[in-house]
């Protein structure tokens, strides 16, 4: 209320008083001091920890096995090529997961006795695929799927691996969507219906836009998680970043390629995580009502 | 318009001198001067957006002032070295929308600060909390959840919550604005009783009837300053300033 336009733009000849200048100066001194203390303690802690690691007896072996520069340069192209596959898998699966989970979430939130089979189907789906370990689904579909020789479906491990990811993740993401849909206050539906919008129209134009905004931060969190789990299809023999690193490692039992793959995955997820943070902050508070 | 920073006089519990507060380029308070003496009820009136709520928050150190001096209990609380939590523990604040904690019972709301801030043992805190609920006429609802209460009851609980730790000063921010008309009376009656008990209050309100009956001093906030102040009969009955007159006639017309 303090930002009301009636008082905005008051023009005056204000200059800070002596007391205010003194307070500002004190705050500045405090800031400088705490920044200094923070910098000093950071350097000290990191320095001590670094010294402890470097001077430990096994450090030389650790460095050779995990941080060999030559090995890293050698394996980098192969791992990077594998990572490109991870990125494509992640992007495709993300789109499919959002579509499938939205359908499931809507199925689970439809009301009325007629829709009972829909609700049951949605609930069973979520219960099953949230209960099954992702690795088990990968084994079931990735090894079992191609063996079925179903007409019209490809036999590639990549296809079946992606299906497993989509099925498993959709169960989680559907629950996120459902929480979002249910967090929209009933009065919003009421207002939509009062305008003459139908059930589906209310869902589409009133409920989902609000739910979507609320669940975007947790959804992006799931996307970060999917980026890493796309590496699980390596167990099916698909050559992604992890599998490529494994192949490189198998030559001389130097584990640097794994570290290379790990660093690449982190480089992939960190921007995503920052984006999530930024978005959540930008959105601000969307919880229960209240006045300030 | 610099603040006149002079050694504080004795007598008043709260004194504002040249208080300025802006948000970005929007100057809400330009230079506010105000005194509240012990046992006094000072009512702030003014249009929406005139900075009444901002003023209360500055007093409670929820906002940091851009300039000026606020002394409370003889101490300069605008000094950045002052512990804001300690200052706030000696003030009680009541909000427009009650802001009760929905996960706690009524008694839990009332005793939270006693137990966690003032270190009162649970048994004694409950005793004092129940006594305070008795005082606001809600002892029977001690175990209820705030959501099960009417707006007027919730606001009375919020007042009990602020009052239970015996604050030196009560800050009340439009405490009846969110209430249905028939519930306004119970809250205003309670405030009148508190005034008779000698509780010092700084009140934002649009209830001119309350201001007329209970206030010792009414201040009209306009254009970032206290535009006019005076005894309620004088200010509300026969204001000197044109702006005050215009504001009051708008209120009465509605």
Contacts with B102 from chain A: Cβ below 8 Å: 288
Domain residue spans in chain B? Answer: 101-167
List the single residue in A with minimal CA-CA distance to B222.
A7
Query: What's the confidence (pLDDT) of residue A5?
Result: 42
Closest CA to B92 of B72, B74, B76: B72
Share of chain A above pLDDT 70, in %: 92
Q: Mean pLDDT across chain B, nearest whole number? A: 89
* Residue A14 sits at the chain B interface (C-beta within 8 Å): yes
* Residue B103 sits at the chain A interface (C-beta within 8 Å): no
Question: How confident is the model over B229-243, as a mean pLDDT?
Answer: 91
End-to-end Cα spacing for chain B: 35
CB contact under 8 A, B2 and A30: no
* A window 19-78, beta carbon within 8 A of B: 19-20, 23, 26-27, 30
> Could you tell me the strand order of the sheet in which B41-45 lies?
B91-94, B169-173, B201-204, B41-45, B217-222, B225-230
* Residue B175 sits at the chain A interface (C-beta within 8 Å): no
pLDDT tens track for A69-107 = 777 777 788 888 888 888 888 899 999 999 999 999 999
- pTM (predicted TM-score): 0.72
pLDDT tens track for A50-78 = 998 888 888 888 877 778 777 777 778 88
Question: A230: which DSSP letter?
Answer: G
Question: How confident is the model over A40-59, as a mean pLDDT?
Answer: 90
Query: What's the confidence (pLDDT) of residue A8?
Result: 45
Nearest-Cα distance to chain A for B98, in Å, is: 9
Query: What's the confidence (pLDDT) of residue A284?
Result: 60
Cross-chain CB nearest to B30 (options A3, A10, A291) = A10
* Residue A6 sits at the chain B interface (C-beta within 8 Å): yes
Domain residue spans in chain A? Answer: 69-283
Could you write out the DSSP letters of every residue in B35-83? EE-TT-EEEEE--TTSSHHHHHHHHTTSS--SEEEEEETTEETTSTTS-
Beta strands at B14-23 and B91-94: parallel, antiparallel or unpaired: unpaired
Contact A159, A169 (CB under 8 A): no
In the predicted structure, residue A291 carries a pLDDT above the cut 80: no
* Residue A291 sits at the chain B interface (C-beta within 8 Å): yes
Nearest-Cα distance to chain B for A1, in Å, is: 5
Q: What ipTM goes with this model?
A: 0.70
CATH C-level class of A69-283: mainly alpha
Confidence of residue A6 (pLDDT cuts 50, 70, 90): very low
Q: Mean pLDDT across chain A, nearest whole number? A: 83
Contacts with A17 from chain B: Cβ below 8 Å: 2-3, 5, 18, 67-68
> Could you tell me the strand order of the sheet in which B75-76 lies?
B26-36, B14-23, B67-72, B75-76
In the predicted structure, residue B83 carries a pLDDT above the cut 60: yes
Question: How confident is the model over A111-121, as a mean pLDDT?
Answer: 87
pLDDT tens track for B216-228 = 999 999 989 999 9
Confidence of residue B2 (pLDDT cuts 50, 70, 90): very low
Nearest-Cα distance to chain B for A28, in Å, is: 11
């Amino acid at each position: 209320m303090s930002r009301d336009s009636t008082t905005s733009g008051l023009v005056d000849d204000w200059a800070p008083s002596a007391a205010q200048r003194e307070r500002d100066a004190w705050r500045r001194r405090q800031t400088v001091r705490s920044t200094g203390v923070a910098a000093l303690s950071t350097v000290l802690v990191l320095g001590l920890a670094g010294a402890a690691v470097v001077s430990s007896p096994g450090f030389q072996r650790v460095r050779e096995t995990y941080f060999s520069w030559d090995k890293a340069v050698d394996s980098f192209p192969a791992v990077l090529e594998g990572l490109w596959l991870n990125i494509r898998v992640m992007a495709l699966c993300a789109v499919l997961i959002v579509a499938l989970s939205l359908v499931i979430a809507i199925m689970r939130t439809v009301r009325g006795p007629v829709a009972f089979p829909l609700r049951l189907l949605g609930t069973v789906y979520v219960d099953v695929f949230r209960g099954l370990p992702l690795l088990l689904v990968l084994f079931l579909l990735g090894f079992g799927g191609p063996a079925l020789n179903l007409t019209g479906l490809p036999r590639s491990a990549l296809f079946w691996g992606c299906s497993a990811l989509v099925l498993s993740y959709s169960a989680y993401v559907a629950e996120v969507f459902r929480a979002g849909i249910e967090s929209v206050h009933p009065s919003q539906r009421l207002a939509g219906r009062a305008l003459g919008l139908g059930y589906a129209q209310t869902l589409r134009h009133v409920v989902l836009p609000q739910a979507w905004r609320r669940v975007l931060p947790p959804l992006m969190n799931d996307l970060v998680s999917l980026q890493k789990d796309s590496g699980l299809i390596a167990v099916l023999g698909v050559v992604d970043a992890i599998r490529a690193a494994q192949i490189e490692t198998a030559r001389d039992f130097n584990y640097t390629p794994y570290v290379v793959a790990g660093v690449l995955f982190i480089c992939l997820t960190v921007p995503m995580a920052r984006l999530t943070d930024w978005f959540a902050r930008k959105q601000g508070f969307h919880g229960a009502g209240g006045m300030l | 318009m610099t603040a006149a920073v002079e050694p504080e006089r004795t007598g008043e519990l709260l004194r504002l001198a040249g208080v300025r507060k802006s948000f970005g380029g929007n100057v809400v308070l330009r230079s506010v001067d105000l005194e509240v003496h012990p046992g006094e009820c000072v009512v702030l009136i003014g249009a929406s957006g005139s900075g009444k709520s901002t003023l209360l928050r500055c007093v409670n150190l929820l906002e940091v002032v851009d300039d000026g001096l606020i002394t409370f209990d003889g101490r300069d609380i605008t000094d950045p070295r002052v512990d804001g939590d300690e200052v706030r523990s000696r003030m009680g604040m009541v909000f427009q929308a009650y802001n009760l904690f929905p996960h706690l019972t009524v008694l839990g709301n009332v005793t939270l600060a006693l137990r966690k801030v003032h270190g009162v043992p649970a048994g004694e805190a409950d005793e004092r909390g129940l006594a305070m609920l008795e005082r606001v006429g809600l002892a029977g609802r001690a175990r209820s959840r705030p959501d099960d209460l009417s707006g007027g009851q919730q606001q009375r609980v919020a007042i009990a919550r602020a009052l239970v730790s015996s604050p030196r000063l009560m800050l009340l921010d439009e405490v009846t604005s969110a209430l249905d008309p028939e519930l306004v009376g119970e809250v205003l009656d309670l405030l009148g009783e508190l005034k008779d008990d000698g509780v010092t209050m700084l009140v934002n309100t649009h209830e001119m009837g309350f201001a007329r009956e209970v206030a010792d001093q009414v201040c009209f906030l306009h254009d970032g300053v206290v535009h006019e102040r005076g005894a309620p009969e004088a200010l509300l009955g026969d204001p000197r300033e044109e702006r005050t007159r215009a504001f009051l006639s708008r209120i009465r017309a509605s």
